[in-house]
């Protein structure tokens, strides 16, 4: 990472939103709504302060803020704008201390911009780091779980003003209970979870992820239709396939967007086919039946004509795309991590094959 960002204004936020859609691996929700809300709060000249985790006091309370739910629902059910102050008040009361910084729980999609709303509304800096380096569909799928850190106490608020708190026996139970309540709240809700202290959490955070998203956004703007190859060259990935969408199977299931995608090859991949499976995010891809990439590595689509990222809830029949594979952060390659986010967890009968 060459240069870490110190402030995020409207222009930088737009680039972060674009780059985070790449890091979303097809999921995480569209960051556009979150970006608009932040821009409204900031106005023309405002900005959010960005800090590095090492610059915070060892015992500083860092609070992740996120949206939970199916990406399809989040396109139509926007936050009211009142959830975050209530969330932070609930968490400060539970923890009996003040929040000193905001954290993105994931670097991808909507939850790369939602925390900026908290930072802008509350006047609190945001940390240039996250706990995934991408997006994953379930809330226990964070690097903090690998560090033995609990998701609770957790608070949840919906757009109507209903609030709830959780104290669970494991992060997996937090996922189950919070997912069930999210469905009752209309399919999406604002949450705060994994409250952490800056010093002990640092070894388990993926540092510089906001700066990475900003750099990716610049590459998308500069290279347009060639962005997939430029990103692959810059971040050690590869273009796995180029083709047209032939079939999309997509459904909402237990609070997730699940399905599969079938592509027919174009250009270098003419005459070949690719299948992709997803649960919010792309999980695995096969070219002519051969597995070419799996979670936790990133699989993301870019429009072959414009270079813009394409999410699982936006992809449609006839669209020409590049399928980009990017290596995950090394923290996800341990046996424990593969058990948490690898292909077999999602019912895919295959072992993880690193890009």
Assigned domain for 182 exists: yes
Instruction: Say whether both 325 and 300 belong to one domain.
Output: yes
Count of domains observed in the chain? 2
Q: Note down pLDDT in tens along the chain; length 355 residues.
A: 458 999 999 999 999 999 999 999 999 877 877 777 788 878 776 899 999 999 999 999 999 999 898 666 656 666 777 899 999 999 999 999 999 999 999 998 889 888 998 999 999 999 999 999 999 999 999 999 999 999 999 999 999 999 999 999 999 999 999 999 999 999 889 999 999 999 999 999 999 999 999 999 999 999 999 999 999 999 999 999 999 999 999 988 877 889 999 999 999 999 999 999 999 999 999 999 999 999 999 999 999 999 999 999 889 999 999 999 999 999 999 999 999 999 999 999 999 999 9
Query: How many angstroms separate the CA atoms of 320 and 189, rounded?
Result: 33
CATH of the domain at 202: 3.40.1610.10
- Domain-ending residue, one of 188, 210, 232: 210
15-48 residue pLDDT tens: 999 999 999 999 987 787 777 778 887 877 689 9
**Domain residues for 341?**
224-346
Pair 81, 37: CB distance under 8 Å = yes
Does residue 353 form part of some domain? no
Tell whether 2 is covered by a domain. Answer: no
CA distance 101 to 116: 11
Q: What is the per-residue DSSP string for 195-231?
A: -EEHHHHGGGSEETHHHHHHHHHHHHHHHGGGHHHHH
Tell me the torsion sign for CA atoms 205, 229, 299, 306.
positive
Q: Is residue 196 part of a domain?
A: yes
Residues 197 and 143 in one domain: yes
State the pLDDT at residue 29.
77
Q: What is the pLDDT of residue 188?
A: 87
**pLDDT for residue 263:** 98
Predicted confidence at residue 76, as pLDDT, reads 67
Check if the beta carbon of residue 312 is closer than 8 Å to that of residue 282: yes
Domain holding 253: CATH number? 2.40.390.10
Give the CA distances from residue 341 to residues 5, 7, 98, 298, 336, in Å, rounded to whole numbers and listed in that order. Answer: 29, 32, 32, 12, 9
* Residue 137, pLDDT score: 92
Torsion-angle region of 19 (φ positive above 0: left; ψ -120 to 50: alpha; else: beta): alpha
pLDDT number for residue 72: 62
Q: Quick one: 153 and 289 in the same domain?
A: no
Residues 202 and 247 both lie in one domain: no
Task: Please tell me the pTM assigned to this model.
Answer: 0.94
Domain membership of residue 148 (yes or no) is yes
Q: Judge if 99 and 22 occupy the same domain.
A: yes
Do 204 and 309 fall into the same domain? no
Of the three residues 182, 210, 238, the one that is the final residue of a domain is 210
Q: Are residue 53 and residue 80 in the same domain, yes or no?
A: yes
In a domain, residue 67? The reply is yes
Element (H, E) at 179: helix 171-184
The two counts, helices (H) then strands (E), for the chain are 11, 18
Q: Are residues 161 and 68 in the same domain?
A: yes
- For residue 110, the 8-state DSSP code is G
- The tokens for 19 are 């780059």
Residues 232 and 204 occupy one common structural domain:
no
- Is position 107 within any domain? yes
Q: Is residue 196 located within the same domain as residue 246?
A: no
Q: Are residues 178 and 234 in the same domain?
A: no
């Amino acid at each position: 990472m060459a240069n870490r960002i110190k402030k995020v204004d409207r222009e930088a936020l737009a680039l972060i939103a674009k780059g985070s859609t790449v890091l979303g691996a097809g999921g995480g929700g569209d960051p556009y709504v979150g970006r608009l809300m932040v821009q409204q709060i900031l106005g023309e000249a405002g900005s959010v302060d960005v800090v590095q985790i090492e610059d915070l006091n060892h015992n500083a309370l860092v609070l992740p803020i996120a949206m939970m739910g199916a990406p399809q629902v989040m396109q139509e059910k926007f936050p009211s704008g009142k959830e975050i102050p209530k969330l932070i008040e609930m968490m400060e009361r539970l923890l009996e201390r003040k929040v000193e910084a905001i954290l993105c729980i994931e670097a991808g999609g909507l939850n790369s911009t939602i925390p900026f709303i908290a930072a802008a509304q509350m006047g609190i800096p945001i940390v240039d780091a996250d706990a995934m380096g991408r997006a994953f569909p379930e809330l226990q799928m964070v690097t903090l779980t690998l560090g033995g850190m609990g998701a609770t106490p957790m608070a949840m608020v919906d757009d109507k003003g209903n609030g709830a708190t959780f104290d669970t026996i494991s992060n997996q139970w937090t996922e189950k209970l919070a997912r069930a309540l999210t469905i009752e709240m209309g399919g999406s809700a604002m949450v705060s979870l994994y409250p952490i202290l800056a010093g002990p959490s640092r070894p388990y955070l993926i540092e510089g992820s906001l700066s990475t998203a900003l750099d990716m956004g610049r590459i998308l703007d500069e290279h347009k239709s060639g962005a997939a190859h430029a990103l692959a060259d810059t971040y050690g990935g590869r273009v796995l396939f180029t083709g047209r969408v032939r079939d999309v199977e997509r459904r909402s299931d237990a609070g997730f967007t699940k399905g599969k995608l079938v592509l027919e090859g174009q250009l270098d991949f003419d005459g070949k086919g690719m299948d992709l499976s997803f649960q919010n995010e792309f999980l695995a891809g096969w070219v002519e039946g051969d597995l070419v990439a799996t979670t936790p590595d990133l699989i993301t689509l870019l429009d072959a004509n414009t270079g813009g990222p394409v999410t699982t809830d936006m992809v449609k029949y006839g669209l020409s795309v590049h399928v980009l594979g990017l290596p995950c952060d090394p923290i996800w390659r341990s046996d424990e991590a593969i058990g948490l986010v690898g292909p077999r967890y999602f019912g895919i009968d295959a072992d993880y094959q690193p890009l």
